[in-house]
Amino acid sequence: MDMRDWLSLADRPALVAGAGGLGGASAVSLAAQGAAVAVVDVDRARLDAVARAAKEAGGCVRTIVADLRSADRCRDAVAEAVREVGTPQVFLHAVGRNVRRPVLDLDDGDWASIVELNLSTAFWLGQAVGRRMVDAGYGRMVFVSSVSGLLAHADHAPYAATKGGLNQLVRVMAREWAAHDVTVNAVAPGYIETDLTADYLDRDGNRRALESLVPARRLGVPEEVADAVTFLASDRARFITGQVLYVDGGRVLV
């Protein structure tokens, strides 16, 4: 069986926000399945790396450099993506960061910056793309959440709050747009090996400690998250909406 046919992504316009580890891997996966992908990120080097990887995988992505930390910039980025690849039929939000500090050590700037990047951009981009998908009567939206949206990890307060909020945003969008054939889901990774986590994992025995919390006894890789994203972006998942899919090796089970 031709996997491209099975997933039905050939020539579908797709917008991916975030060219980091999970967003980049997902953009490559979508492009390899034939989607016409536009990727938005503030970092030109990350975008270029994704473009090269997509080409090596037999696909192609268009890149857009943009700082998404305002409603107007998000809307402008969506409009530019429409000009580049067409009205998105697939959308992935993979923008976010974490600050690992106890609640009592966080300042107002920590809270505000993480809420803006992790949650507000999800709303601004999701609303802009969702409006176009609802008008078109079709869409597949996926947001990158985290096991932290469910589990109470110490030193993760703003991050966990934004991911819990994101899960509820996904559910409400899914409820409002289901009648328009627009599905809205989230993938919630556990501990994943990425460039952004490498420094933390390699310090102070953190890798071994985290592996011990995962029933699968290993950390995940970006491609495993990208596979879940690609499935939810396809019509094989057309009756799945408002769900949070944990890609975590069983982390939330313990």
pLDDT attached to residue 3? 47
CATH of the domain at 214: 3.40.50.720
Q: Is 83 exposed, middle or buried (0-12, 13-18, 19+ CB in 10 A)?
A: exposed
Query: Is the pLDDT score of 11 beyond 80?
Result: yes
Mean of pLDDT values over 52-69: 97
Is residue 254 included in any domain, yes or no?
no
For residue 188, the enclosing domain spans: 3-247
User: What is the average per-residue pLDDT within 65-77?
Assistant: 98
E-assigned strands of the chain? 13-17, 36-41, 61-65, 90-93, 139-144, 182-189, 244-247
The total number of structural domains that make up the chain: 1
User: Which of 138, 159, 191, 246 does the annotation list as catalytic?
Assistant: 159
pLDDT of residue 184: 98
What is the pLDDT, as a whole number, of residue 132? 98
User: Is 159 tagged catalytic?
Assistant: yes
Distance CA 140, CA 121 (A): 18
- Domain assignment present for 252: no
Residue 2 has pLDDT above 60, yes or no: no
Q: What average pLDDT is seen over the chain?
A: 95
- Is 253 domain-assigned? no
